[in-house]
Amino acid sequence: MLKFLCAITGVLLAAALTIDTAEAKSPEVAPIEGVPTLMTGTYDVAKLGYTTNEYFVSGVANSYSAPQPLASDGRWTARVSGTAPYRTRIVVMRPTSGMTVDRVALDWWLLFTAVKACVIWTTAASGFASGKNREMTMALSGIRANHFHRDLILKIMRAKGAMG
Amino acid sequence: MTSKSLSIDNALHGLDEFLRDKIAPAIADPYVAPMARLSGLLLRICANSVDDATELRVDENAAIREVLGQAAALVSEPLAAQLQGAAASADPGLKISVLDEENQRLRILLVTAQCELEKDTSAAAKARDRTIWRLLESIEAKRAPRERP
């Protein structure tokens, strides 16, 4: 039987959360022998070309607090306010082929996803503007999220030295 | 003592506050109440972009025209003539809708010009390309939604 200790930390989720991660440390990872039992479906993933492995992950987790009152616009700042030891387990399913990822090439995918997001937000804005959909979230995502991703595209392009 | 006039942005800020502080708390429906708050936020963003809306668009169109004029010397015909024509043009009016339409026309030319410049490996073309990127960064920063009152 697996025993694990998990330290629950405060988690803040927001559209634009700024987190001070200066004290974050990589966890220790230890493989676990045997085959994990998971409710992942009725099919055998090995037949689909995937290998399943289980690991203990342990370390020191940060908890966070907000130094200022949380504003309604979701633009919050979180600061490390405490730590606690944790130990949990994860199951990793990966292609048996052992194919490695070209991380540099994959990094460009970030740019593509930002462009793709802009298409979604532009469509949302267009839907609201035409009167076909008057949901406030459509209008706001057309304005806020669209700007966020256009700005992100420019930042990625600059970071990659791809601006001429 | 000067009195403050009831401007469009002032009225919109008032509506935002009314929706947020009076209407939304009085709505029991769990879907409609947050929608009322979001409506207030949308009004706030609009309110914060009313005052300098014309100035921002006039300045932006002028900045694009300047870059198009610079790019004209580096591209071939007939695009060069199109860019020169755009560089010499003026805003046809000061209504936001008119300025936005002109802005779209200029931006399409800007994209076309940048595509041509990026095919050119000369130092001059690369310098113009960098100018366009800087302009796009500047435009995005100035057009950022202003959510603070």
Q: Are residues A89 and A123 in the same domain?
A: no
What pLDDT score was predicted for residue A14?
A: 36
Q: Are residues A112 and A80 in the same domain?
A: no
Residue A9 resides in a domain: no
Contacts of A84 (CB under 8 A, 6+ apart): A7, A9, A60, A61, A63
* ipTM rounded to 2 decimals: 0.86
* Phi and psi torsions of A32, nearest 5°: -110, 130
**B147 to chain A: closest CA residue:** A73
Residue A5 resides in a domain: no
Buried b (16+ CB within 10 A) or exposed e, B91-109: beeeeeeebeebbeebeeb
Mean pLDDT calculated for residue range A136-150:
93
Hey, CA dihedral for B90, B95, B100, B105, is it positive or negative? negative
Count the Cβ atoms, other than its own, within 10 Å of residue A155.
13
* A85: preceding bond cis by omega (within 30 degrees): no
pLDDT class of A100 with cuts at 50, 70, 90: confident
Cβ-based contacts of B143 with chain A (< 8 Å) = 147
Q: Which helix (H) or strand (E) holds A93?
A: strand A75-95
Residue B65 resides in a domain: yes
Nearest to A136 among B42, B126, B133 (CB): B42
Mean pLDDT calculated for residue range A105-113:
88
- Measure A35 CA to nearest chain B CA, in Å: 45
* B135-145 pLDDT per residue, tens: 999 999 999 99
Q: Are residues A59 and A38 in the same domain?
A: yes
* B64-113 pLDDT per residue, tens: 999 999 999 999 999 999 999 999 999 999 999 999 999 999 999 999 99
pLDDT at A2 over 50: no
Domain span at residue B27 reads 8-143
Cα A130 to Cα A133, A135, A138, A140, distances in angstroms: 8, 12, 12, 15
Domain span at residue A126 reads 103-159
Residue with tokens 């959510």: B147
What pLDDT score was predicted for residue A22?
A: 53
Q: Considering its fold, how many domains does chain A have in total?
A: 2
Token pair for B24: 């939304």
Residue with tokens 């989720």: A13
Nearest to B147 among A73, A136, A157 (CB): A73
- Please indicate whether, in this complex, the C-beta atoms of B38 and A137 are within 8 angstroms of each other: yes
Which of helix, strand or coil describes residue A140? helix
- Please indicate whether, in this complex, the C-beta atoms of A163 and B42 are within 8 angstroms of each other: no
Q: Are residues A90 and A107 in the same domain?
A: no
Q: Are residues A111 and A55 in the same domain?
A: no
Mean pLDDT calculated for residue range A100-116:
88
What pLDDT score was predicted for residue A164?
A: 76
pTM, rounded to two decimals:
0.69
Q: Are residues A42 and A109 in the same domain?
A: no
* B99-144 pLDDT per residue, tens: 999 999 999 999 999 999 999 999 999 999 999 999 999 999 999 9
Q: Considering its fold, how many domains does chain B have in total?
A: 1
Residue B72 resides in a domain: yes
Sheet holding A75-95, edge to edge: A16-19, A75-95, A50-65, A28-32
How far apart CA B84 and CA B87 sit, in angstroms, is 5
What pLDDT score was predicted for residue A19?
A: 62
Q: Which of A140, A146, A155, A157 to mutate to test the interface with B (most CBs of B within 10 A)?
A: A140
Residue A112 resides in a domain: yes
Mean pLDDT calculated for residue range A55-81:
85
Contact at 8 Å (CB) between B46 and B39?
no
Mean pLDDT calculated for residue range A28-35:
87
Residue B2 resides in a domain: no
Nearest to B145 among A72, A147, A163 (CB): A147
Residue B23 resides in a domain: yes
- Whether A158 and chain B come into contact, CB under 8 Å, resolves to yes
Residue B120 resides in a domain: yes
